Structure 1
Amino acid sequence: MEVNIKIKRFDGNKSYFEEYKIEIDKRTTVLEALMYIKDYKDNSLSFRVQCRSAICGTCAVKIGENHVLACKTKVTEFLNDGTLTVEPAGNLPVIKDLVTGQEIFLEKLKDAKAWFVPKEKLEPVFIDDLKLYDRETDCILCGICYSVCPVYQTNVEFGGPINFVKIYRFWKDKNDSLKDQRLEIAKLNNITACVHCKYCSFSCPKEIPVEQDIAQLKFFAKQKGIIKEDQEGAGGFSTPFGF
């Protein structure tokens, strides 16, 4: 089947759309289509690719209003009148074509202390312990949750969904020496600015319950008096759905 792939390009100065007609079958992924275009149509096209198995998170792109991993998304899923429109991920600076700069959220992960800090004496870890943060360990740092976050779009002081997934993961780990400080770290990352629109959860390619993690962190931070009731919703953003 012949389809039209419409790609938003950026040459360092200006953005523009360019279209390519290619043949696909029902199994062709967006990444395969991009690779075909680069190999046979236009070798100047730039995009990121690495594992091709939805593990590395480097191939995140925007298709219509959807942010997806190109390697696990079929072209036929989002065809509109025979055309697929591919754009770079949102809320991140575009370097070239579909390649975005990820330094912003990677730097923010440092503010979240998004790594395991072991206690001096470690306790045995059992299956029930792992269940507390098993989903959160699936995060591949693709940046899709940043790309869809309306708060991050308007408030650069907001830590961002990835930060809170990481904070939650180590907060639930009984062997993490910063466990008692994780809620304080969440506050410092402006967790109260989250409006619970759930875009992050809906868009996560690993189906991590991001908004649920944020809600739980906020609840316990309030219980401990770390976050005051009048701080809730700080950031001044509201969604059209009233969340």
Structure 2
Amino acid sequence: MKVKIKIKRFNGKDHYFDQFDVQIEDRTTVLEALMHIKDYMDNSLSFRAQCRSAICGTCAVKIGENHVLACKTKVKQFVQDGVLTVEPAGNLPVIKDLITDQDIFLLKLKDAKAWFVPSEKFEPVYPDDLKLYEKETDCILCGICYSVCPVFQTGQEFGGPINFVKIFRFWKDKNDALKDQRIVIADKNRITACVHCKYCTFSCPKEIPVEQDILQLKFFGKQKGIIKEEQEGSGGFSTPFGF
């Protein structure tokens, strides 16, 4: 089947769309189509890709209204009238073509202390302990949850879904030294600005229950008086999706 691949490009000055006619099979992924274009049609096309196994998270792109991993997504899933439109991920500055500048959310992760801080005394970890944060350990830092979040329409103060996944994961780890200090960090990341649209959960390629993590952090934080109720819904923005 021949498909017209429509790609939003950026040359450092102008945004524009390029079109390429590509012969695909049922199994052809979006990444394979992009690689074919780069290898045989236009070697100036720029995009990120490494593992091709949905593990590294580098190949996140936007197709229509969906943010996906190009290596995991088959072209036929999103073709409409013989056309597939590919754009760079949202909420991030574009460097070139489909390559975005991820420094914004990576620096936010640093501010959120998104790593394990070991306690002085180690406690044995059992399967029931791991179940508390097992899904969260699957996070591959693809940034898709960041890219679909509507809160960033009004500014960059919000920490972002990816921060709260990491905060939740280490908060639930009984060997993490920060313990409830993680909730304080979540509050500083403006967790109450979340509108619970669930786009982060629906879009996560690893099916992490991002919005549920945020709800748990907020509930516990309010119960402990760490997160104040009056901060709820601060930001005063609206989304184009009616939420």
Do both share a fold (TM > 0.5)?
yes
CA distances 1:48-100 after superposition (whole Å, capped 9, x unpaired):
01000000000000000000000000000000100000000000000000000
2:169 aligned partner: 169
1:107 aligned partner: 107
Unmatched runs of 5 consecutive residues or more in structure 2? none
* Coordinate RMSD, CA, aligned: 1.0
CA distances 1:150-188 after superposition (whole Å, capped 9, x unpaired):
002323100000000000000000000001201000000
1:28 aligned partner: 28
1:65 aligned partner: 65
**Counterparts in 2 of 1:73 and 1:192: CA distance versus 1, 3 Å:** same
CA displacement at 1:233 relative to structure 2? 1.0
**Structure-to-structure mapping, 1:128-207, within 5 angstroms:** 128-207=128-207
What TM-score, normalized to structure 2? 0.98
**Structure-to-structure mapping, 1:14-25, within 5 angstroms:** 14-25=14-25
Q: Secondary structure at the match of 1:179?
A: coil
CA distance in structure 1 between the partners assigned to 2:23 and 2:104 by the alignment: 37
1:11 aligned partner: 11
Unmatched runs of 5 consecutive residues or more in structure 1? none
CA displacement at 1:228 relative to structure 2? 1.7
CA distance in structure 2 between the partners assigned to 1:43 and 1:91 by the alignment: 26
Identity level (%)? 81
**Counterpart amino acid of residue 95 in structure 2:** I
2:226 aligned partner: 226
Structure 1: which 4+ aligned runs deviate by more than 2 Å?
A: 237-243
**Counterparts in 2 of 1:85 and 1:223: CA distance versus 1, 3 Å:** same
